[in-house]
Structure 1
Amino acid sequence: MSGKKKVTSTDIARAAGVSQSTVSMVLNRKYNVSFSKETVEKVEKAARELGYVLPKRKLRRESRGEKLLVVFCSNLTNPYYVMLLQGIESRAKEQGYGLFVCNTQRDLKMEERYLKMMKSLKPLGIIYTCNPSHCFMDTVEKLAEEIPVVIVNNQNERLNVDAVELDNSKLGRIMAKHLLDLGHKKVAYIAPPLTVRQKQRSKRVEGFLKEFEKAGLKDQVVIRAAAEELDQDVAHIDSEYLIGYELTKELLEERTEVTAIVGLNDMIAFGILDALQEAKLKVPGDISVMGCDNTLFARMHKVSLTTIEHFVIFKGRDACDIIMKKIASQRTKYYDIDPISTYHVEYEPKLIQRGTTSYPRRAKK
Structure 2
Amino acid sequence: MAKKKATSMDVAREAGVSQATVSMILNKKYNVSFSKETIRQVTEAAERLDYHLPKQRIRRSAKSRKLLVVFCPTLTNPYYVMLLQGIEAMAKEYGYGVFVCNTQRDLKIEENYLRMMREVQPLGIIYACNPSFSRQVAELSREIPVVVISNRDDEFSIDAVALNNQKPGILMARHLLELGHRDVAFIAPPLTARQHQRQKRVGGFLMEFEKAGLSDYVLVCSAADSKDTEIPNIESEYRMGYDLTVELLREDCPITAIAALNDMMAFGAMDALLERQYRIPGDISVVGCDNTLFSRFHTIGLTTVEHFVDQKGRDACDIILRKIESQKSYRKGDEPTSIYHIEYEPRLIVRGSTGYAPDESHREKKKK
If the TM-score is normalised by the length of the shorter chain, which range does it land in? 0.7 to 0.9
Match of 2:188 among 183, 188, 191: 191
CA contact under 8 A between 1:184 and 1:359: conserved in structure 2?
yes
Q: Displacement of 1:123 after TM fit?
A: 0.3
**Correspondence for 1:310:** 307
Check if 1:143 corresponds to 2:132: no
Check if 1:71 corresponds to 2:66: no
Check if 1:250 corresponds to 2:247: yes
TM-score normalised over the length of structure 1: 0.81
**Correspondence for 2:129:** 130
- Equivalent residues in 2 for 1:56-205, closer than 5 Å: 66-133=65-132, 136-156=133-153, 158-205=155-202
CA contact under 8 A between 1:263 and 1:290: conserved in structure 2?
yes
How many matched pairs?
309
Larger radius of gyration: 1
Q: Structure 1: how far apart are the matches of 2:129 and 2:70?
A: 10
Q: Displacement of 1:355 after TM fit?
A: 0.2
AA aligned opposite 2:89: S
CA contact under 8 A between 1:307 and 1:352: conserved in structure 2?
yes
Q: Displacement of 1:362 after TM fit?
A: 1.0
Q: Structure 1: how far apart are the matches of 2:300 and 2:127?
A: 31
Q: Displacement of 1:156 after TM fit?
A: 3.1
Question: Over aligned residue pairs, what C-alpha RMSD do you find?
Answer: 2.2
**Correspondence for 2:319:** 322
Q: Structure 1: how far apart are the matches of 2:212 and 2:327?
A: 51
Q: Give percent identity, aligned residues only.
A: 59
Cα displacement string for residues 16-63 of structure 1 (whole angstroms, at most 9, x for unaligned residues):
xxxxxx9xxxxxxxx87999x9xxxxxxxxxxxxxxxxxxxxx9x957
CA contact under 8 A between 2:290 and 2:304: conserved in structure 1?
yes
**Correspondence for 1:47:** none
In structure 2, runs of 5+ residues without a counterpart are 1-8, 10-18, 24-41, 43-57, 363-368
CA contact under 8 A between 1:297 and 1:303: conserved in structure 2?
no
Q: Structure 1: how far apart are the matches of 2:289 and 2:266?
A: 8
CA contact under 8 A between 2:123 and 2:144: conserved in structure 1?
yes
Q: Comparing 293-302 with 74-83, which one deviates more in the overlay? A: 293-302
**Correspondence for 2:288:** 291
Q: Structure 1: how far apart are the matches of 2:282 and 2:155?
A: 43
Q: Displacement of 1:303 after TM fit?
A: 3.2
CA contact under 8 A between 2:83 and 2:312: conserved in structure 1?
yes
Q: Partner of 1:69: helix, strand, or coil?
A: strand
- After TM superposition, what 4+ stretches of structure 1 lie above 2 angstroms from structure 2? 31-35, 61-65
**Correspondence for 1:220:** 217
Q: Partner of 1:147: helix, strand, or coil?
A: coil
Q: Structure 1: how far apart are the matches of 2:126 and 2:20?
A: 30
Match of 2:277 among 265, 275, 280: 280
Check if 1:345 corresponds to 2:342: yes
Check if 1:267 corresponds to 2:267: no
Q: Displacement of 1:340 after TM fit?
A: 1.1
Q: Displacement of 1:338 after TM fit?
A: 1.8
AA aligned opposite 2:175: H
Q: Structure 2: how far apart are the matches of 1:270 and 1:345?
A: 30
Note closer, same or farther for the CA distance 1:145–1:34 as it changes in structure 2 (3 Å cut): closer
TM-score normalised over the length of structure 2: 0.80
